[in-house]
Amino acid sequence: MTTLFKPIVNGQALRRSEIPHLSFDDFRAEAVRLVRNGARVVQFFAYPDEGRLKMLAVLRTAELWAAGCDAPDVFDSLTADAEPFHLFEREMAEQYGLVPQGHPWLKMVRYHPNSTGRPDVFGNDYTQDIPGNYPYYAVKGQEIHEVAVGPVHAGVIEPGHFRFNCIGERVLHLEIQLGYQHRGVEHLMTASPMKRLPIIAEGIAGDTSVGNALCLAQAVEALTGTAPDFGAHIIRTIGLELERIANHTGDLGALSGDVAFLPPANYFGRMRGDFLNLSLLLCGNRFGKGLVRPGGTRFSLPNDLRRTMNERIGVLRTQTKHVLDLLFTTSSVQSRFERCGVVSRDDADRLGLVGPAGRASGLAYDARRCFPTEYYPRLDIPENAKTTGDVHARATIRAEEILQSVTIITALLNGPVDTDCVVESQTDYALSPASFVVTVNEAWRGELSHALLTDGEGRIVRYKVKDPSFHNWNGLSMALRDTGISDFPLNNKSFNLSYCGYDL
């Protein structure tokens, strides 16, 4: 493919001088052209560099492509010509005061003042209650009514606001507003000692501890020339797949509960605990915290533990098949799942949906297959794409991935695994100066990416995190279009997106 962007490799560092630095007009034209021709946005962000602001984009086709430019204070929005840039541009507007003229939906992302001292793009006074200033979209008409849900919910759940515009029970539009718990994660990654970074990464989203720790570890390894041993690749893959199974199992249980089919809801809830306990056996933490570190893993997999895990997962495989059969052969369940919350392939493609949400709408992309790391180059990851784009498809994707992940783990546990564990005294690293690396992994919700830029002294000047939920929240909005409002809980569970992964 002929392009002004440079091909880069997932998890491999390069000098920042090797990234094409284009004029903004060339950058915009080429980025829009690539996306219109099927490329998708992995990263697009602004960063400070020697007193100036710059932009950098990473796009994906069958390869990863990168290019940058100086960031104009005011520029013609890329979103106006290519929708997948829309949320990235809103983020840059909020973080750095950059104005994407012509952006069709320029609103706040996380309610925090930008770090440049420039005037606020949205006209907000940050001494006031910012969430109250959010300009919600409103459908006009005498018959229209609004239903507001959150940000405080009736359960142990993170804050997020859902604003429904309805005519009777029919939802015309759902707007989702997040940003109630901005934690400054990306700033912490540039300001904290190196030994703290894995701990911060594991806390980005607690249900994706292994995924985020893996993205960080791979970035640090690329910038230090560190190569984990073969056994570490196996253990990391097991940890990531256990995280996938536990969350998919929990989601299917929640979906069962939302259609009042309690036997699988209870079974899946118990089995989720059993899968979490396998992570506990592996590293002493049910959510996999402390397992992955730059250079490898902090825990080995001795033969007695390997055999115990293999026995337990064998029992769970049989139980899981039985409960999945119960769920997917019950006609009352299927009647609720089928044709509920449909997101078309075209809408999913325009929104850039990833993971199970994208695959349910026909987008076969899976980073484990397309940009494999760790042990995945040796595995045959199926496409799993569906065509209906409904709750049934999103549930089926999870069911299939549970069984596939069990098969992967079983295969990896069949033989001895030898690794030299990373110790805490080895966690201070000197990063390559003036360098860049992007890491992409298939977390359980989909494409998870970290990007890291260093200055001439090897200090981190920009650390960018992109959770799959950053793409997928708008998919939930589309799923509710022209749907009964009573279907919201079911659709919400079928996506099960992250608040904290979005509220960085």
- CA–CA distance, 248 with 268 (Å, rounded to integer): 9
- Region of poorest pLDDT, from 47-56, 149-158, 224-233, 439-448: 149-158
**What is the rounded distance in angstroms from the CA atom of residue 230 to the CA atom of residue 226?**
13
Which pLDDT band, with edges at 50, 70 and 90, does 332 fall under? very high
On the question of pLDDT at 248 being above 90, the answer is yes
Whole-angstrom distance, CA of residue 240 vs CA of residue 494? 21
Q: Count Cβ atoms within 10 A of the Cβ of residue 332 and give its class: 0-12 exposed, 13-18 middle, 19 or more buried.
A: exposed
The answer to whether 503 and 181 have CB atoms below 8 angstroms apart is yes
| CB 407, CB 321: distance < 8 Å | no
Bridge partners of 297, per DSSP, are 292
Confidence (pLDDT) at 476: 98
What is the token pair recorded at 401?
A: 């991935």
**Given this model, what pLDDT does residue 126 score?**
55
Interval 205-223: pLDDT, tens: 999 999 999 999 999 999 9
pLDDT above 80 for 426: no
Q: Is the pTM of this model over 0.75?
A: yes
Q: Is 127 a residue whose pLDDT tops 60?
A: no
Torsion angle defined by CA atoms of residues 301, 302, 308 and 310, in that order, rounded to the nearest 10 degrees: 50
pLDDT at 21 over 90: yes
Largest CA distance in the chain: 69
Mean pLDDT of the chain: 94
Q: Quick one: average pLDDT of 443-460?
A: 97
Share in percent of the chain as helix, strand, coil (round to 5): 45, 20, 40
Phi, psi of 443 (to 5 degrees): -70, 175
Q: Among the residues of 97-208, which ranges form H helices?
A: 185-191, 197-202
pLDDT tens, position by position, 357-376? 999 999 999 999 999 999 99
Residues 6+ apart with CB under 8 A from 125: none
Res 213: pLDDT: 98
**130 band by pLDDT with thresholds 50, 70 and 90:** low
pLDDT in the model for residue 129? 53
Q: What contacts 322, CB < 8 A, 6 or more positions away?
A: none
On the question of a cis peptide bond just before residue 468, with omega within 30 degrees of 0, the verdict is no
Residue 82 identity (one-letter amino acid):
A
The answer on pLDDT for 169 being more than 80 is yes
Q: Is pLDDT above 70 for 331?
A: yes
What is the band of 131 on the pLDDT scale with cuts at 50, 70, 90? low
Q: Which DSSP category does 452 fall into? A: E
- The three-state (H, E, C) secondary structure of 285-306, written as one string: CCCCCCCEECCEECCCCCHHHH
